[in-house]
């Protein structure tokens, strides 16, 4: 093999992978909300999971990317393992669309696609047209890469060393499986490695091997490439939760089991048919012929695509009834229970950024989780004050550290997410979430202030009149209510509930002024101790500020209704 051949091969492979990724990025952006809705309707029914996995992978153009996404979803709590199993099986089917597309060999129209796609992407101001242009441009680049690789590998048709290698694969299928696995593990894309196999077929590299059935030497390599795609997900699961690691194990198990039964079945059929395998004849018949250098020859590229599709469909049909058993197998391979880290992220995972629209929805869930911690801390701090309970004060101070940690991690995630290819609505939502996380963190600070005031009250043995206690209880109840409503509005994107927050906050503002006036009057009449009065006013002030931040949270919900323009 010459240097020119290597340059043509790797240059073409680079174009192929780049074009495939470009198509996937464009399709993900255009179909972002639809993909989100697909995943939202996902249930424990793993048949539905198969359908979702198939459709999503057709959009993303990579089963590896879908499986990495699934690992992220499991890690973030979007999916359970049963759902993940169905989606992974569907992804294995969906990825075969790339091989079927490559078998069309549309290299002749690639320059036209590049021209049209470039014009749409570079000169249109409308985002949807630009994204459609990106898809068309990626399609053109992909087939240009195929053309480069096919041209570079033509000399292999007459290369004796390459023929000997292929003959050894046909004699020992395990070697073919290993070769396919290693190739895919290196490239990190089964679509690319199978595409490379198809390009070899288009170059005629398999046609001149004497005494060897083309499919007999190709199928083991193809099966190995199916296993190799698991490497990406396995690497992605490093550092993830145990459940996410189990999702990667499930993916690997499905491929290994499928390869074993396929090799055994094909070997048995060949033995019974005295080497003339009828399955290979069936594939050749349904794949038809193609024109190569003026000669009509079997369409080996289509045969590869059809074997790839049929294997993954059969593997899914055979293993789907055993999905619960595969899940249990993953739990036996990796036993143990998850431990929730209060201060760690629960719903966010970098892998989910493969689909920014879903990642934005997860960022909302994580922010809501943080807000609920802050609400709990407000309630605990108020109770600590009324009950003079120092243990509750310690709980507030500990949880405040977790809230601060969450604020930093969510903000860091939002910064990374903002650099993704986002829809305009998602950009607005991310901007709002920056402000919301800051408001939630400030609510936690005010809860901490109230806890410290409670400690001061205990240390100085301060007492409050029944009227003062009653007034504080009333205000704390109202503030807790407005904070709960604002969190619910954020969680459910409830515009109508968000609209009620402002009027509730105005009532709290009026109540604060009234409580200040009445308490100053009690101080003037010497009905309250001055030190108690200072703490009373500080608590009232902190509660009022909590209500202000709750109102800010509701405004971020209402901003989306006005396309980012402030309502208040």
Taking only the tens place, the pLDDT of each residue in 272-291 is 887 678 888 899 899 888 87
pLDDT category, 379, cuts 50, 70, 90?
very high
**How confident is the model over 521-527, as a mean pLDDT?**
68
How long is the chain? 568
C-alpha pair distances (Å), 136 with each of 14, 61, 118, 160, 438: 17, 14, 8, 39, 41
Compute the mean pLDDT over every residue in the chain, rounded to the nearest whole number.
83
Q: What's the whole-model pTM score?
A: 0.70
* 485 Cβ contact list (under 8 Å, min separation 6): 497, 500, 501, 504, 550, 554
- H-helix segments, 343-423: 356-387, 390-418
DSSP conformational letter for 126: S
**Of the candidates 206, 110, 192, 113, which has an alpha carbon nearest to the alpha carbon of residue 163?**
206
Q: How confident is the model at residue 307 (pLDDT cuts 50, 70, 90)?
A: very high
What are 403's two structure tokens? 């809230």
Tokens standing for 60?
A: 């993303």
What percent of the chain lies above the pLDDT cut of 70?
Answer: 89
Dig out the tokens for 131 from the structure. Answer: 């994204």
User: What domains appear along the chain, each with residue ranges and CATH number?
Assistant: 3-333 (no CATH), 355-561 (1.20.58.220)
CA–CA dist 86, 89 (Å, integer): 5
Query: Cβ(208)–Cβ(157) under 8 Å?
Result: yes
Residue with token string 């990190």: 188
Number of Cβ within 10 Å of residue 331's Cβ equals 15
Three-class SS state of 292: strand
Spatial separation of the C-alpha atoms in residues 412 and 418, rounded to whole Å: 10
- Supply 344's token pair: 């760690």
């Amino acid at each position: 093999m010459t240097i020119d051949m290597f340059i043509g091969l790797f240059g073409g492979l680079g174009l192929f992978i780049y074009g495939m990724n470009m198509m996937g990025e464009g399709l993900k952006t255009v179909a972002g909300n639809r993909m989100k809705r697909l995943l939202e309707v996902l249930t424990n029914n793993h048949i539905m999971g198969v359908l979702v996995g198939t459709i999503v992978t057709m959009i993303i153009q990579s089963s590896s990317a879908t499986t990495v996404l699934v690992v992220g979803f499991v890690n973030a709590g979007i999916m359970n393992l049963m759902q993940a199993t169905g989606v992974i099986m569907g992804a294995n089917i969906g990825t075969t669309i790339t091989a079927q597309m490559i078998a069309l060999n549309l290299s002749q129209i690639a320059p036209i696609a590049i021209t049209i796609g470039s014009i749409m992407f570079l000169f249109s101001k409308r985002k949807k047209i630009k994204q459609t242009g990106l898809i068309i441009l990626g399609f053109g680049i992909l087939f240009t890469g195929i053309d480069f690789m096919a041209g570079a590998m033509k000399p292999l048709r007459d290369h004796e060393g390459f023929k000997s290698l292929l003959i050894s694969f046909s004699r020992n299928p395990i070697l073919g499986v290993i070769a396919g696995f290693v190739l895919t593990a290196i490239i990190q894309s089964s679509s690319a490695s199978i595409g490379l196999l198809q390009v070899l077929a288009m170059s005629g590299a398999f046609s001149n091997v004497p005494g060897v059935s083309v499919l007999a030497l190709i199928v083991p390599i193809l099966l190995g490439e199916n296993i190799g795609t698991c490497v990406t997900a396995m690497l992605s699961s490093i550092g993830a939760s145990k459940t996410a690691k189990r999702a990667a194990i499930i993916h690997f198990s499905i491929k290994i089991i499928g390869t074993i039964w396929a090799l055994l079945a094909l070997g048995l059929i060949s033995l019974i048919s005295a080497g003339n395998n009828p399955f290979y004849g069936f594939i050749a018949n349904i794949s038809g012929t193609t024109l190569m250098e003026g000669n009509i020859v079997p369409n080996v590229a289509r045969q590869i695509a059809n074997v790839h599709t049929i294997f993954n469909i059969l593997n899914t049909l055979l293993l789907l009834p055993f999905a619960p058993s595969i899940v249990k197998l993953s739990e036996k391979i990796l036993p143990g229970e998850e431990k929730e880290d209060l201060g760690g992220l629960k719903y966010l995972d970098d892998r989910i950024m493969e689909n920014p629209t879903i990642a934005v929805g997860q960022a909302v869930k994580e922010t809501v989780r943080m807000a609920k911690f802050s609400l709990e801390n407000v309630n605990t701090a108020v109770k600590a004050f009324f009950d003079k309970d120092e243990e509750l004060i310690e709980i507030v101070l500990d949880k405040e550290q977790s809230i601060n940690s969450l604020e930093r991690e969510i903000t860091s995630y939002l910064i990374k997410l903002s650099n993704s290819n986002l829809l305009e609505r998602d950009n607005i939502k991310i901007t709002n979430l920056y402000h919301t996380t800051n408001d939630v963190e400030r609510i936690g600070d005010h809860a901490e202030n109230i806890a410290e005031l409670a400690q001061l009250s205990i240390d100085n043995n301060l007492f409050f009149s029944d009227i003062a206690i009653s007034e504080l209880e009333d205000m704390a109840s109202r503030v807790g209510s407005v904070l709960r409503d604002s969190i619910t509005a954020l969680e459910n994107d409830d515009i109508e509930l968000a609209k009620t927050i402002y009027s509730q906050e105005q009532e709290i503002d009026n109540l604060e002024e009234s409580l200040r006036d009445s308490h100053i009057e009690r101080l003037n009449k010497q009905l309250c101790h001055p030190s108690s009065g200072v703490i009373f006013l500080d608590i009232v002030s902190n509660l009022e500020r909590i209500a202000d931040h709750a109102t800010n949270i509701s405004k971020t919900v209402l901003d989306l209704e006005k396309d980012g323009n402030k309502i208040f």
